[in-house]
Amino acid sequence: MREATLWTLHLAAGVVILVFLSIHMGIMHLEDVLTALGTGYRDALGWASVVMRNKQLYFTITYVILLAAALYHGLYGLRNILLELGPGPTAVRVIQGILILLGASLFVLGTIAAIAAYVR
């Protein structure tokens, strides 16, 4: 794939992350602030709350979208940082191979966990 396309995908993934991770961070880490404003709910990490989110298709789908976007954005960013250090062609192929394998493995793990939690 052309580098310009990969870079554009990196930016697009950043926008997706901005939206969904902001919601995630709000639910997880601003629950008392949001509750004080009358919009939040408490104990986001409690099992009942986790199950409630797991059983909603919206959360499952957005989780998988966020997972894909964040893995791509993060690992592509890391790849660019490593390539800036000027490795040779073989090292570039090794770096890219490892990062693709890592990203694909974690995407499969996270997706299986999300689906298993949804159907459980």
The residue within the footprint of other proteins, chosen from 78, 92, 95, 96 (CB under 8 A), is 78
Residue 1 or 37: the one with the smaller Cβ distance to other proteins is 37
Binding mask 19-38 for other proteins (x = CB under 8 A): --xx--x---xxxxx-----
Q: How is residue 99 written in tokens?
A: 């990062």
Restricted to residues 86-105, the positions that interact with other proteins (CB under 8 A) are 86-88, 102
DSSP state of 51: H
Cα(60)–Cα(45) distance, integer angstroms: 16
Q: In which region does residue 38 sit, left (phi positive, over 0), alpha (psi from -120 to 50) or beta (all else)?
A: left
Size of the site for other proteins (CB under 8 A): 39
